Amino acid sequence: MDKVLSLDDAIERLVPDGVAVLAVGGMHLHNNPMALVREMVRQDRHVARLLTSPCGALNADLLVAAGLVGEIETSYVGFEHLGLAPAFRRAVEAGVVRVLECDEAYITHGLTAGAGGLPFVALPEGLEAADVWKANAESYRLVTDPFTGKQVLAGAPLIPDVALLHAAAADAAGNAVIAGAHFVDRAMALAAKTVIVQVERVVPTEEISRHAVGTTIPGFLVHGVVEAPGGCHPTASHGHYGADEEHLRRYLSMAATAEGAISYLEEFVRGVNERDYLLALRRPAGDRSGQ
């Protein structure tokens, strides 16, 4: 079954406006599925609840800047050594976006519970000593361990309706290979009801089969494959290119104000398709020839 779709078709067909829970893969400034995220903005697809990996970044902040997110379930949204996420912080402080505070362990184990069909998951001892669970009664509960009688912290399963992920390559059937660390992306694929994977290239199945099972997302989990070389920009794609710090700093500078964030979206997202976005990055600053 050929699951290769164009970028716009993948979002139009597989991500309903107002999707209940959308998960975005990647960690920090690595393997963010930015081509898919930008297309979400172009098509004005709203998200009732956005779920990030333990460390969200531009993949979350851009959707928040576009005014598309109602709630966010996360432990952190930021830009590592470059600073905090401006649109996220502004929206949360203004009460525009509701935060369901999580810790990293819960997101990891919660996705595993979602993938395994578990009603809840017992969390590692010691997390109950922090106050995160007290701020998010929807996701956490103190329960009695039936074996020891002790009080332990438990988390609800995380089951995204749609997951947007990045992989190095995939075949037409959706079997995908993740280059480098896969963070919680594979768990997202296992837990989600619908999975869209953007890849640097579509390859024959024989190439996928040469990789170890643990590095792959099996095709039966995947609903759409989008060939999007350079699609992680300005974040890094493991094995292909590093993060573009100059562009990330430009985003942070512009998105420091709501007006600046809108200007960024018009210049780099809504005002261009993905091909023209990548072409513009190769031109000298101020050169708009060919547009």
Q: Work out whether strand 69-74 and strand 194-202 pair parallel, antiparallel, or are unpaired.
A: unpaired
Over residues 155-174, the pLDDT tens digits come to 999 999 999 999 999 999 99
- pLDDT > 70: percent of the chain: 97
Q: What is the mean pLDDT of residues 218-241?
A: 97
Q: What is the pLDDT of residue 211?
A: 85
Q: What is the pLDDT of residue 228?
A: 98
Under DSSP, the state recorded for 78 is B
Q: What is the mean pLDDT of residues 138-148?
A: 96
Q: Show the tokens assigned to 191.
A: 């837990």
What Rg, from alpha-carbon coordinates, does the chain have? 19
Q: What is the mean pLDDT of residues 6-32?
A: 98
Burial of 182 (0-12, 13-18, 19+ CB in 10 A): buried
CA–CA separation, 124 and 130 (whole Å): 12
Helices (H), the chain: 7-14, 34-42, 58-65, 86-93, 104-116, 185-191, 205-209, 245-254, 258-265, 274-281
Q: What is the pLDDT of residue 287?
A: 47
Residue 26: what residue type? G
pLDDT beyond 90 at 101: yes
Q: 215 pLDDT band (50/70/90 cuts)?
A: confident
Q: What is the pLDDT of residue 283?
A: 57
Over residues 171-187, the pLDDT tens digits come to 999 999 998 888 999 99
Q: What is the pLDDT of residue 10?
A: 98
Q: What is the pLDDT of residue 1?
A: 84
Domain ranges for the chain: 7-119+157-243
Q: What is the mean pLDDT of the chain?
A: 94
Q: Show the tokens assigned to 119.
A: 């009603």
pLDDT beyond 90 at 116: yes
CA–CA separation, 55 and 168 (whole Å): 20
pLDDT beyond 70 at 227: yes
pTM score: 0.95
Q: Show the tokens assigned to 186.
A: 């594979």
Over residues 50-73, the pLDDT tens digits come to 999 999 999 999 999 999 999 999
Question: Would you list the DSSP string of 125-164?
Answer: TTGGGSSGGGG-TTTEEEEE-TTT--EEEEE-----SEEE
CA–CA separation, 169 and 146 (whole Å): 44
**How many other CB atoms are found less than 10 A from the CB of residue 214?**
8
Q: Show the tokens assigned to 99.
A: 């935060």
Packing angle, helices 258-265 and 245-254, rounded to 10: 130
Which one of 2.30.30.830, 3.90.960.10, 3.40.190.10, 3.40.1080.10 gives the CATH number of domain 7-119+157-243?
A: 3.40.1080.10
CA–CA separation, 96 and 192 (whole Å): 26
Q: What is the pLDDT of residue 16?
A: 98
pLDDT beyond 50 at 81: yes
CA–CA separation, 281 and 277 (whole Å): 7
Tokens 């959706």 correspond to 174
